[in-house]
Amino acid sequence: MMNDALSKEKGTETITISRAEYESLKEQNAELSQQIKWLMEQIRLARHKQFGASSEKSEYSQINLFNEAEATADAQAAEPELTVIEKHYRKKAAGNKDRLPPDLPVETIEHFLSEKEQSCPECGEALHIMGKQVRRELKLIPAKAVIVEHIKYVYSCRECEKKACHVPIIKAPVDEPVIKGSFASPEAVAHIMTQKFVSGVPLYRQEQEFNRNGILLSRQTMSNWLIKCAEDWLEPIYVKLHEQLCAREVLHADETTLQVLREPGKSAQSKSYMWLYRTSGDANMPIVLYDYQPDRSGKRPAAFLKGFKGYLHTDGYAGYHSDLPEDVVITGCWAHARMKFEEALKGLAEKDREGSLAQKGKRYCDRLFRIEKGLKDISPQNRQKKRQEQARPVLDEFLAWLKSIGPAPKSGIGKAVFYTLGQWKYLERYLVDGRLEISNNRAERSIKPFVIDRKNFLFANTPRGAVSSAVIFSIIETAKENELNPYAYLTYIFKSAPNLDIEDPEQLQSLLPNNAADWCRIPKRAEKENADETDEY
Protein backbone atom coordinates (compact mmCIF):
# COMPACT_ATOMS: atom_id res chain seq x y z
CA MET A 1 0.00 0.00 0.00
CA MET A 2 0.99 3.60 -0.59
CA ASN A 3 2.16 5.61 2.44
CA ASP A 4 3.26 9.20 2.93
CA ALA A 5 6.97 8.37 2.99
CA LEU A 6 9.25 10.75 1.08
CA SER A 7 12.19 9.39 -0.91
CA LYS A 8 14.86 10.92 -3.13
CA GLU A 9 15.94 9.32 -6.38
CA LYS A 10 18.56 10.80 -8.72
CA GLY A 11 17.98 14.39 -7.57
CA THR A 12 14.19 14.34 -7.92
CA GLU A 13 11.57 14.02 -5.24
CA THR A 14 8.95 11.32 -5.39
CA ILE A 15 5.91 11.79 -3.16
CA THR A 16 3.86 8.80 -2.23
CA ILE A 17 0.20 9.56 -1.44
CA SER A 18 -2.87 7.57 -0.58
CA ARG A 19 -5.24 6.21 -3.24
CA ALA A 20 -8.03 8.45 -1.91
CA GLU A 21 -5.87 11.58 -2.27
CA TYR A 22 -4.79 10.49 -5.76
CA GLU A 23 -8.40 10.02 -6.91
CA SER A 24 -9.37 13.37 -5.41
CA LEU A 25 -6.55 15.21 -7.21
CA LYS A 26 -7.37 13.40 -10.45
CA GLU A 27 -11.01 14.50 -10.15
CA GLN A 28 -9.98 18.09 -9.41
CA ASN A 29 -7.63 18.07 -12.39
CA ALA A 30 -10.38 16.84 -14.72
CA GLU A 31 -12.75 19.46 -13.38
CA LEU A 32 -10.18 22.25 -13.88
CA SER A 33 -9.41 21.00 -17.39
CA GLN A 34 -13.14 21.13 -18.20
CA GLN A 35 -13.36 24.68 -16.85
CA ILE A 36 -10.35 25.77 -18.90
CA LYS A 37 -11.88 24.19 -21.99
CA TRP A 38 -15.18 26.02 -21.37
CA LEU A 39 -13.41 29.34 -20.78
CA MET A 40 -11.41 28.93 -24.00
CA GLU A 41 -14.67 28.28 -25.88
CA GLN A 42 -16.11 31.51 -24.49
CA ILE A 43 -12.96 33.47 -25.43
CA ARG A 44 -13.04 32.13 -29.01
CA LEU A 45 -16.77 32.88 -29.32
CA ALA A 46 -16.29 36.40 -27.94
CA ARG A 47 -13.46 37.01 -30.41
CA HIS A 48 -15.58 35.74 -33.27
CA LYS A 49 -18.52 37.95 -32.30
CA GLN A 50 -16.21 40.96 -32.12
CA PHE A 51 -13.97 40.36 -35.12
CA GLY A 52 -15.42 37.46 -37.14
CA ALA A 53 -17.65 37.53 -40.20
CA SER A 54 -21.40 37.48 -39.72
CA SER A 55 -23.01 34.10 -40.33
CA GLU A 56 -25.80 35.85 -42.26
CA LYS A 57 -24.14 36.55 -45.56
CA SER A 58 -24.44 40.13 -46.79
CA GLU A 59 -22.17 42.28 -48.90
CA TYR A 60 -22.79 45.10 -46.40
CA SER A 61 -22.29 43.14 -43.17
CA GLN A 62 -18.67 44.27 -42.72
CA ILE A 63 -19.02 47.86 -43.96
CA ASN A 64 -18.73 50.67 -41.45
CA LEU A 65 -20.98 53.59 -42.36
CA PHE A 66 -18.11 56.02 -41.79
CA ASN A 67 -15.87 54.52 -44.48
CA GLU A 68 -18.65 53.09 -46.67
CA ALA A 69 -17.42 54.95 -49.77
CA GLU A 70 -13.86 53.64 -49.36
CA ALA A 71 -15.08 50.14 -48.61
CA THR A 72 -17.35 49.86 -51.66
CA ALA A 73 -15.29 51.82 -54.20
CA ASP A 74 -13.31 49.99 -56.87
CA ALA A 75 -10.95 52.18 -58.86
CA GLN A 76 -10.33 49.39 -61.37
CA ALA A 77 -14.00 48.83 -62.23
CA ALA A 78 -15.10 50.34 -65.53
CA GLU A 79 -17.93 52.88 -65.46
CA PRO A 80 -21.06 51.23 -66.93
CA GLU A 81 -22.05 52.54 -70.34
CA LEU A 82 -25.69 53.49 -70.88
CA THR A 83 -27.35 52.92 -74.23
CA VAL A 84 -30.86 53.80 -75.42
CA ILE A 85 -33.00 50.71 -76.07
CA GLU A 86 -36.70 51.26 -76.74
CA LYS A 87 -36.60 54.71 -75.12
CA HIS A 88 -34.98 53.62 -71.88
CA TYR A 89 -31.46 53.15 -70.66
CA ARG A 90 -29.71 49.88 -70.15
CA LYS A 91 -26.11 49.29 -69.26
CA LYS A 92 -24.01 47.21 -71.61
CA ALA A 93 -22.00 45.42 -68.93
CA ALA A 94 -24.05 42.43 -67.71
CA GLY A 95 -22.34 42.18 -64.32
CA ASN A 96 -23.28 45.65 -63.03
CA LYS A 97 -26.50 46.34 -61.10
CA ASP A 98 -26.93 49.97 -62.18
CA ARG A 99 -30.34 50.71 -63.67
CA LEU A 100 -32.20 53.85 -64.72
CA PRO A 101 -36.02 53.84 -64.81
CA PRO A 102 -37.54 54.15 -68.32
CA ASP A 103 -39.62 57.22 -67.41
CA LEU A 104 -36.72 59.28 -66.03
CA PRO A 105 -36.88 62.84 -67.44
CA VAL A 106 -34.11 63.76 -69.88
CA GLU A 107 -32.57 67.23 -69.81
CA THR A 108 -30.78 67.95 -73.10
CA ILE A 109 -27.92 70.45 -73.33
CA GLU A 110 -26.69 71.12 -76.89
CA HIS A 111 -23.22 72.48 -77.55
CA PHE A 112 -22.65 74.43 -80.78
CA LEU A 113 -19.70 76.35 -82.17
CA SER A 114 -20.03 80.11 -82.12
CA GLU A 115 -20.63 81.85 -85.44
CA LYS A 116 -16.97 82.88 -85.61
CA GLU A 117 -15.88 79.27 -85.04
CA GLN A 118 -18.16 77.88 -87.78
CA SER A 119 -15.61 78.58 -90.49
CA CYS A 120 -13.18 76.05 -91.89
CA PRO A 121 -9.69 76.67 -90.48
CA GLU A 122 -8.20 75.54 -93.84
CA CYS A 123 -10.26 77.36 -96.53
CA GLY A 124 -12.53 79.68 -94.54
CA GLU A 125 -15.79 78.23 -95.93
CA ALA A 126 -18.81 77.60 -93.61
CA LEU A 127 -18.87 74.36 -91.64
CA HIS A 128 -21.91 72.10 -91.48
CA ILE A 129 -22.98 69.57 -88.84
CA MET A 130 -21.94 66.10 -89.99
CA GLY A 131 -22.73 64.20 -86.77
CA LYS A 132 -22.87 64.39 -83.01
CA GLN A 133 -21.37 62.76 -79.94
CA VAL A 134 -23.55 62.13 -76.90
CA ARG A 135 -22.39 61.92 -73.27
CA ARG A 136 -24.98 60.99 -70.63
CA GLU A 137 -24.82 61.86 -66.93
CA LEU A 138 -27.09 61.07 -64.00
CA LYS A 139 -28.03 64.35 -62.35
CA LEU A 140 -29.33 64.21 -58.80
CA ILE A 141 -31.34 67.17 -57.50
CA PRO A 142 -31.72 67.51 -53.70
CA ALA A 143 -35.29 67.56 -52.39
CA LYS A 144 -36.84 70.99 -52.63
CA ALA A 145 -39.85 72.45 -50.84
CA VAL A 146 -42.71 74.36 -52.47
CA ILE A 147 -45.80 75.97 -51.04
CA VAL A 148 -49.02 74.53 -52.46
CA GLU A 149 -51.74 77.18 -52.27
CA HIS A 150 -55.30 75.90 -52.57
CA ILE A 151 -57.66 78.63 -53.81
CA LYS A 152 -61.30 77.62 -53.64
CA TYR A 153 -63.52 79.85 -55.77
CA VAL A 154 -67.07 80.65 -54.74
CA TYR A 155 -69.79 80.98 -57.40
CA SER A 156 -73.19 82.69 -57.38
CA CYS A 157 -75.90 83.49 -59.95
CA ARG A 158 -76.13 87.12 -61.18
CA GLU A 159 -79.64 86.62 -62.45
CA CYS A 160 -80.89 85.30 -59.11
CA GLU A 161 -79.16 88.21 -57.38
CA LYS A 162 -81.38 90.56 -59.43
CA LYS A 163 -84.73 88.72 -59.33
CA ALA A 164 -84.84 85.98 -56.70
CA CYS A 165 -85.14 86.09 -52.97
CA HIS A 166 -82.60 83.26 -52.63
CA VAL A 167 -79.20 83.32 -54.31
CA PRO A 168 -77.46 79.92 -54.61
CA ILE A 169 -73.78 79.98 -53.62
CA ILE A 170 -71.67 77.10 -54.88
CA LYS A 171 -68.06 76.45 -53.84
CA ALA A 172 -65.53 74.62 -55.98
CA PRO A 173 -64.76 71.17 -54.52
CA VAL A 174 -61.37 70.70 -52.87
CA ASP A 175 -59.80 67.68 -51.18
CA GLU A 176 -59.69 67.56 -47.40
CA PRO A 177 -56.28 68.24 -45.82
CA VAL A 178 -54.32 65.44 -44.20
CA ILE A 179 -54.34 67.39 -40.90
CA LYS A 180 -56.99 70.08 -40.40
CA GLY A 181 -55.56 73.49 -39.46
CA SER A 182 -52.02 72.45 -40.36
CA PHE A 183 -49.72 73.33 -43.26
CA ALA A 184 -48.73 69.65 -43.56
CA SER A 185 -49.23 68.05 -46.97
CA PRO A 186 -49.59 64.34 -47.74
CA GLU A 187 -46.21 64.44 -49.51
CA ALA A 188 -44.47 66.16 -46.58
CA VAL A 189 -45.73 63.68 -43.97
CA ALA A 190 -44.92 60.72 -46.25
CA HIS A 191 -41.40 62.07 -46.84
CA ILE A 192 -40.68 62.53 -43.12
CA MET A 193 -42.04 59.05 -42.35
CA THR A 194 -39.96 57.31 -45.01
CA GLN A 195 -36.83 59.22 -44.03
CA LYS A 196 -37.23 58.09 -40.42
CA PHE A 197 -38.67 54.59 -40.77
CA VAL A 198 -37.12 53.46 -44.07
CA SER A 199 -33.82 55.36 -44.26
CA GLY A 200 -33.28 55.55 -40.50
CA VAL A 201 -32.85 59.34 -40.36
CA PRO A 202 -33.99 60.58 -36.91
CA LEU A 203 -36.17 63.66 -36.71
CA TYR A 204 -33.41 65.81 -35.25
CA ARG A 205 -31.23 65.13 -38.32
CA GLN A 206 -34.15 65.92 -40.61
CA GLU A 207 -34.67 69.14 -38.66
CA GLN A 208 -31.01 70.07 -39.25
CA GLU A 209 -31.28 69.27 -42.97
CA PHE A 210 -34.41 71.40 -43.33
CA ASN A 211 -32.70 74.25 -41.48
CA ARG A 212 -29.70 74.11 -43.83
CA ASN A 213 -32.14 74.63 -46.68
CA GLY A 214 -33.77 77.61 -44.96
CA ILE A 215 -36.88 75.73 -43.76
CA LEU A 216 -37.42 76.12 -40.02
CA LEU A 217 -39.42 72.99 -39.27
CA SER A 218 -39.03 71.71 -35.71
CA ARG A 219 -38.86 68.07 -34.73
CA GLN A 220 -41.76 68.69 -32.34
CA THR A 221 -43.97 69.71 -35.26
CA MET A 222 -42.80 66.70 -37.26
CA SER A 223 -43.50 64.40 -34.28
CA ASN A 224 -47.01 65.81 -33.98
CA TRP A 225 -47.61 65.22 -37.69
CA LEU A 226 -46.41 61.60 -37.51
CA ILE A 227 -48.46 60.70 -34.43
CA LYS A 228 -51.59 62.46 -35.70
CA CYS A 229 -51.47 60.81 -39.14
CA ALA A 230 -50.64 57.41 -37.64
CA GLU A 231 -53.65 57.60 -35.30
CA ASP A 232 -56.12 59.07 -37.80
CA TRP A 233 -55.28 57.32 -41.08
CA LEU A 234 -52.82 54.45 -40.55
CA GLU A 235 -54.27 52.85 -37.44
CA PRO A 236 -57.61 51.91 -39.11
CA ILE A 237 -55.61 50.21 -41.89
CA TYR A 238 -53.47 48.48 -39.24
CA VAL A 239 -56.62 47.17 -37.50
CA LYS A 240 -57.96 45.82 -40.79
CA LEU A 241 -54.63 44.15 -41.59
CA HIS A 242 -54.58 42.67 -38.08
CA GLU A 243 -58.00 41.16 -38.70
CA GLN A 244 -56.83 39.61 -41.97
CA LEU A 245 -53.57 38.40 -40.39
CA CYS A 246 -55.42 36.43 -37.70
CA ALA A 247 -57.59 34.83 -40.37
CA ARG A 248 -54.53 33.10 -41.90
CA GLU A 249 -53.49 29.56 -40.96
CA VAL A 250 -49.70 29.96 -40.98
CA LEU A 251 -47.90 32.86 -39.25
CA HIS A 252 -44.42 33.83 -38.03
CA ALA A 253 -43.52 35.73 -34.83
CA ASP A 254 -40.46 37.32 -33.27
CA GLU A 255 -39.63 40.06 -30.76
CA THR A 256 -36.86 42.53 -29.93
CA THR A 257 -36.14 45.11 -27.28
CA LEU A 258 -37.09 48.78 -27.27
CA GLN A 259 -36.30 51.46 -24.71
CA VAL A 260 -39.14 53.84 -23.80
CA LEU A 261 -38.02 56.75 -21.63
CA ARG A 262 -41.28 57.93 -20.08
CA GLU A 263 -43.20 54.74 -19.40
CA PRO A 264 -45.46 54.77 -16.30
CA GLY A 265 -44.15 52.59 -13.48
CA LYS A 266 -40.82 51.84 -15.20
CA SER A 267 -37.38 53.42 -15.14
CA ALA A 268 -35.97 54.97 -18.31
CA GLN A 269 -33.33 52.20 -18.46
CA SER A 270 -35.81 49.31 -18.39
CA LYS A 271 -36.61 47.22 -21.45
CA SER A 272 -39.82 47.25 -23.41
CA TYR A 273 -40.49 45.08 -26.46
CA MET A 274 -41.52 45.36 -30.07
CA TRP A 275 -43.24 42.16 -31.17
CA LEU A 276 -43.43 41.15 -34.83
CA TYR A 277 -46.13 39.03 -36.48
CA ARG A 278 -46.33 38.29 -40.19
CA THR A 279 -47.89 36.04 -42.79
CA SER A 280 -46.00 33.12 -44.31
CA GLY A 281 -45.03 32.48 -47.90
CA ASP A 282 -48.49 31.14 -48.80
CA ALA A 283 -50.22 34.55 -48.48
CA ASN A 284 -51.37 36.41 -51.61
CA MET A 285 -51.06 39.72 -49.76
CA PRO A 286 -48.16 39.61 -47.28
CA ILE A 287 -48.85 41.35 -43.97
CA VAL A 288 -46.18 42.48 -41.49
CA LEU A 289 -47.36 43.92 -38.17
CA TYR A 290 -45.41 45.29 -35.20
CA ASP A 291 -46.91 45.44 -31.72
CA TYR A 292 -45.36 47.54 -28.94
CA GLN A 293 -45.67 46.07 -25.43
CA PRO A 294 -44.04 46.98 -22.09
CA ASP A 295 -42.76 43.43 -21.45
CA ARG A 296 -41.94 40.04 -22.95
CA SER A 297 -44.70 38.09 -21.24
CA GLY A 298 -46.28 35.19 -23.09
CA LYS A 299 -49.68 36.82 -22.63
CA ARG A 300 -48.70 39.42 -25.26
CA PRO A 301 -48.78 37.08 -28.28
CA ALA A 302 -51.84 35.36 -26.80
CA ALA A 303 -53.70 38.69 -26.73
CA PHE A 304 -52.53 39.86 -30.16
CA LEU A 305 -53.35 36.55 -31.85
CA LYS A 306 -56.76 36.16 -30.23
CA GLY A 307 -58.95 34.25 -32.66
CA PHE A 308 -56.01 32.86 -34.64
CA LYS A 309 -56.02 29.11 -35.25
CA GLY A 310 -53.12 27.47 -37.02
CA TYR A 311 -49.33 27.14 -37.07
CA LEU A 312 -47.04 29.77 -35.57
CA HIS A 313 -43.32 29.77 -36.48
CA THR A 314 -41.17 30.98 -33.57
CA ASP A 315 -37.70 30.67 -32.10
CA GLY A 316 -37.10 28.76 -28.87
CA TYR A 317 -38.39 31.44 -26.47
CA ALA A 318 -40.53 29.73 -23.81
CA GLY A 319 -43.04 32.61 -23.70
CA TYR A 320 -44.66 31.32 -26.88
CA HIS A 321 -45.47 28.01 -25.17
CA SER A 322 -47.01 29.27 -21.92
CA ASP A 323 -50.14 31.28 -22.69
CA LEU A 324 -51.10 30.50 -26.28
CA PRO A 325 -54.23 28.34 -26.68
CA GLU A 326 -54.14 24.79 -28.01
CA ASP A 327 -55.46 26.02 -31.36
CA VAL A 328 -52.05 27.65 -31.96
CA VAL A 329 -49.49 25.02 -32.91
CA ILE A 330 -45.86 26.12 -32.45
CA THR A 331 -43.39 25.28 -35.23
CA GLY A 332 -39.68 25.51 -34.37
CA CYS A 333 -36.78 27.13 -36.21
CA TRP A 334 -33.95 24.98 -37.56
CA ALA A 335 -31.86 28.08 -38.24
CA HIS A 336 -31.60 28.66 -34.48
CA ALA A 337 -30.70 25.00 -33.85
CA ARG A 338 -28.07 25.14 -36.57
CA MET A 339 -26.67 28.33 -35.05
CA LYS A 340 -26.13 26.54 -31.71
CA PHE A 341 -23.92 23.93 -33.39
CA GLU A 342 -22.15 26.64 -35.36
CA GLU A 343 -21.35 28.51 -32.12
CA ALA A 344 -20.07 25.28 -30.58
CA LEU A 345 -17.85 24.78 -33.63
CA LYS A 346 -16.49 28.33 -33.44
CA GLY A 347 -15.72 27.80 -29.76
CA LEU A 348 -13.25 25.02 -30.63
CA ALA A 349 -9.63 25.53 -31.57
CA GLU A 350 -9.26 25.38 -35.34
CA LYS A 351 -7.23 22.17 -35.17
CA ASP A 352 -10.02 20.44 -33.22
CA ARG A 353 -12.93 21.34 -35.50
CA GLU A 354 -12.56 18.70 -38.19
CA GLY A 355 -14.49 15.60 -37.19
CA SER A 356 -15.79 17.17 -33.97
CA LEU A 357 -19.27 16.55 -32.56
CA ALA A 358 -20.15 20.19 -33.27
CA GLN A 359 -19.23 19.77 -36.93
CA LYS A 360 -21.27 16.57 -37.22
CA GLY A 361 -24.32 18.25 -35.68
CA LYS A 362 -24.00 21.24 -37.99
CA ARG A 363 -23.75 18.95 -41.01
CA TYR A 364 -26.99 17.23 -40.08
CA CYS A 365 -28.66 20.67 -40.09
CA ASP A 366 -27.01 21.53 -43.40
CA ARG A 367 -28.43 18.37 -44.95
CA LEU A 368 -31.94 19.39 -43.90
CA PHE A 369 -31.52 22.86 -45.42
CA ARG A 370 -30.16 21.41 -48.69
CA ILE A 371 -33.20 19.12 -48.94
CA GLU A 372 -35.50 22.08 -48.30
CA LYS A 373 -33.78 24.20 -50.95
CA GLY A 374 -34.52 21.53 -53.54
CA LEU A 375 -38.23 21.55 -52.61
CA LYS A 376 -38.70 25.31 -52.83
CA ASP A 377 -40.54 25.46 -56.17
CA ILE A 378 -43.03 22.62 -55.79
CA SER A 379 -46.60 22.65 -54.44
CA PRO A 380 -47.24 22.36 -50.68
CA GLN A 381 -48.79 18.91 -51.13
CA ASN A 382 -45.77 17.57 -53.00
CA ARG A 383 -43.42 19.29 -50.59
CA GLN A 384 -44.98 17.51 -47.63
CA LYS A 385 -44.65 14.16 -49.41
CA LYS A 386 -41.02 14.76 -50.42
CA ARG A 387 -40.12 15.86 -46.90
CA GLN A 388 -41.36 12.56 -45.53
CA GLU A 389 -39.28 10.71 -48.11
CA GLN A 390 -36.09 12.78 -47.85
CA ALA A 391 -35.98 14.73 -44.58
CA ARG A 392 -37.64 12.22 -42.23
CA PRO A 393 -34.77 9.65 -42.44
CA VAL A 394 -32.22 12.42 -41.75
CA LEU A 395 -34.22 13.60 -38.73
CA ASP A 396 -34.49 10.08 -37.33
CA GLU A 397 -30.75 9.53 -37.76
CA PHE A 398 -29.98 12.93 -36.23
CA LEU A 399 -32.20 12.28 -33.19
CA ALA A 400 -30.58 8.89 -32.54
CA TRP A 401 -27.13 10.52 -32.77
CA LEU A 402 -28.10 13.34 -30.37
CA LYS A 403 -29.29 10.85 -27.76
CA SER A 404 -26.14 8.74 -28.04
CA ILE A 405 -23.30 11.25 -27.61
CA GLY A 406 -23.86 12.62 -24.04
CA PRO A 407 -21.56 15.69 -24.08
CA ALA A 408 -20.69 17.81 -21.03
CA PRO A 409 -23.80 19.92 -20.28
CA LYS A 410 -21.96 23.25 -19.95
CA SER A 411 -19.84 22.85 -23.08
CA GLY A 412 -20.76 24.46 -26.38
CA ILE A 413 -21.79 21.15 -27.93
CA GLY A 414 -23.66 20.24 -24.74
CA LYS A 415 -25.75 23.43 -24.98
CA ALA A 416 -26.45 22.75 -28.67
CA VAL A 417 -27.56 19.19 -27.98
CA PHE A 418 -29.70 20.22 -24.97
CA TYR A 419 -31.39 23.00 -27.02
CA THR A 420 -32.09 20.74 -30.00
CA LEU A 421 -33.50 17.88 -27.92
CA GLY A 422 -35.60 20.30 -25.88
CA GLN A 423 -37.04 21.83 -29.05
CA TRP A 424 -37.31 18.59 -31.03
CA LYS A 425 -41.11 18.26 -31.11
CA TYR A 426 -41.34 21.81 -32.46
CA LEU A 427 -38.40 21.44 -34.85
CA GLU A 428 -39.79 18.35 -36.60
CA ARG A 429 -43.28 19.85 -36.91
CA TYR A 430 -42.56 21.46 -40.29
CA LEU A 431 -42.94 17.98 -41.82
CA VAL A 432 -46.68 17.83 -41.14
CA ASP A 433 -47.74 20.54 -43.62
CA GLY A 434 -46.13 21.61 -46.89
CA ARG A 435 -46.98 25.27 -46.20
CA LEU A 436 -44.71 25.31 -43.15
CA GLU A 437 -41.09 26.45 -43.39
CA ILE A 438 -37.92 24.95 -42.00
CA SER A 439 -36.95 28.17 -40.21
CA ASN A 440 -38.34 31.40 -38.81
CA ASN A 441 -36.02 33.46 -41.00
CA ARG A 442 -39.01 35.15 -42.62
CA ALA A 443 -39.79 36.86 -39.30
CA GLU A 444 -36.10 37.50 -38.61
CA ARG A 445 -35.79 39.39 -41.91
CA SER A 446 -38.95 41.40 -41.22
CA ILE A 447 -37.86 42.54 -37.77
CA LYS A 448 -34.39 43.50 -39.00
CA PRO A 449 -35.44 46.93 -40.40
CA PHE A 450 -36.65 47.93 -36.93
CA VAL A 451 -33.45 46.67 -35.31
CA ILE A 452 -31.34 48.64 -37.81
CA ASP A 453 -33.39 51.82 -37.36
CA ARG A 454 -33.25 51.43 -33.57
CA LYS A 455 -29.50 52.02 -33.76
CA ASN A 456 -30.26 55.46 -35.15
CA PHE A 457 -33.16 56.66 -33.01
CA LEU A 458 -32.06 54.60 -29.93
CA PHE A 459 -35.34 54.91 -27.97
CA ALA A 460 -38.94 56.08 -27.96
CA ASN A 461 -39.89 59.00 -25.73
CA THR A 462 -43.40 57.89 -24.68
CA PRO A 463 -45.62 54.80 -25.03
CA ARG A 464 -47.86 56.80 -27.40
CA GLY A 465 -44.86 57.42 -29.66
CA ALA A 466 -43.87 53.75 -29.47
CA VAL A 467 -47.39 52.66 -30.49
CA SER A 468 -47.37 55.12 -33.42
CA SER A 469 -43.94 53.84 -34.47
CA ALA A 470 -45.26 50.27 -34.44
CA VAL A 471 -48.20 51.28 -36.67
CA ILE A 472 -46.00 53.23 -39.10
CA PHE A 473 -43.41 50.44 -39.29
CA SER A 474 -46.22 47.95 -39.96
CA ILE A 475 -47.68 49.91 -42.88
CA ILE A 476 -44.24 50.56 -44.40
CA GLU A 477 -42.95 46.98 -44.10
CA THR A 478 -46.24 45.60 -45.43
CA ALA A 479 -45.95 47.98 -48.38
CA LYS A 480 -42.40 46.78 -49.09
CA GLU A 481 -43.50 43.13 -48.91
CA ASN A 482 -46.20 43.93 -51.51
CA GLU A 483 -43.64 45.62 -53.81
CA LEU A 484 -44.99 49.11 -53.17
CA ASN A 485 -42.88 52.23 -52.91
CA PRO A 486 -43.36 53.23 -49.22
CA TYR A 487 -43.30 56.97 -49.95
CA ALA A 488 -45.79 56.65 -52.81
CA TYR A 489 -48.09 54.34 -50.79
CA LEU A 490 -48.11 56.66 -47.77
CA THR A 491 -48.82 59.62 -50.06
CA TYR A 492 -51.70 57.66 -51.61
CA ILE A 493 -53.15 56.95 -48.14
CA PHE A 494 -52.81 60.53 -46.89
CA LYS A 495 -54.42 61.93 -50.04
CA SER A 496 -57.27 59.40 -50.12
CA ALA A 497 -58.15 58.64 -46.49
CA PRO A 498 -59.28 62.18 -45.45
CA ASN A 499 -61.82 62.09 -48.28
CA LEU A 500 -63.23 58.65 -47.42
CA ASP A 501 -65.45 57.28 -44.71
CA ILE A 502 -62.86 54.92 -43.30
CA GLU A 503 -65.40 53.45 -40.89
CA ASP A 504 -67.04 51.95 -43.97
CA PRO A 505 -65.32 48.55 -44.52
CA GLU A 506 -65.57 48.80 -48.31
CA GLN A 507 -64.00 52.26 -48.44
CA LEU A 508 -61.31 51.22 -45.98
CA GLN A 509 -60.58 48.19 -48.17
CA SER A 510 -59.53 50.52 -51.00
CA LEU A 511 -56.57 51.68 -48.89
CA LEU A 512 -55.06 48.22 -48.39
CA PRO A 513 -51.83 47.39 -50.26
CA ASN A 514 -53.45 45.08 -52.81
CA ASN A 515 -55.79 47.93 -53.85
CA ALA A 516 -53.20 50.70 -53.99
CA ALA A 517 -52.93 52.84 -57.13
CA ASP A 518 -50.60 51.63 -59.87
CA TRP A 519 -48.28 54.61 -59.36
CA CYS A 520 -47.45 53.24 -55.90
CA ARG A 521 -45.92 50.08 -57.32
CA ILE A 522 -42.19 49.59 -57.78
CA PRO A 523 -41.38 49.12 -61.50
CA LYS A 524 -40.67 45.54 -62.48
CA ARG A 525 -37.03 44.82 -63.33
CA ALA A 526 -35.62 42.37 -65.83
CA GLU A 527 -33.86 40.66 -62.96
CA LYS A 528 -34.82 40.87 -59.29
CA GLU A 529 -32.35 42.99 -57.38
CA ASN A 530 -31.66 42.90 -53.67
CA ALA A 531 -33.22 39.43 -53.43
CA ASP A 532 -34.15 38.03 -50.03
CA GLU A 533 -31.41 36.24 -48.18
CA THR A 534 -31.51 32.47 -48.33
CA ASP A 535 -32.35 30.29 -45.36
CA GLU A 536 -28.69 29.44 -44.88
CA TYR A 537 -28.29 31.07 -41.51
pLDDT in tens, 95-114: 556 667 777 888 898 999 89
- DSSP code for 115: T
Residue among 407, 336, 343 at smallest CA distance from 368: 336
Amino acid type, 261: L
**Cα angle: 371, vertex 375, 379; to 5 degrees:** 155
d(CA 138, CA 342): 45
Question: Tell me, what's the pLDDT at 22?
Answer: 76
pTM of this structure: 0.78
Residue among 65, 58, 98 at smallest CA distance from 81: 98
Question: Tell me, what's the pLDDT at 25?
Answer: 77
Q: 217, 210 in Cβ contact below 8 A?
A: yes
Question: Tell me, what's the pLDDT at 388?
Answer: 96
Question: Tell me, what's the pLDDT at 45?
Answer: 66
Question: Tell me, what's the pLDDT at 258?
Answer: 85
Q: 500, 508 in Cβ contact below 8 A?
A: yes
Contacts of 359 (CB under 8 A, 6+ apart): 341, 345, 353
Question: Tell me, what's the pLDDT at 396?
Answer: 97
Contacts of 223 (CB under 8 A, 6+ apart): 203, 465
- Residues belonging to the chain: 537
Question: Tell me, what's the pLDDT at 7?
Answer: 45
- 171's enclosing H/E stretch is strand 169-171
State the DSSP string of 202-231.
-HHHHHHHHHHTT----HHHHHHHHHHHII
Q: 360, 338 in Cβ contact below 8 A?
A: no
Residues of the chain with pLDDT under 50: 1-10, 56-73, 84-90, 93, 526-537
Question: Tell me, what's the pLDDT at 458?
Answer: 56
CB 368: neighbour CB atoms within 10 A? 22
**CA contacts within 13 A on the Cβ side of 61:** 13
- DSSP code for 39: H
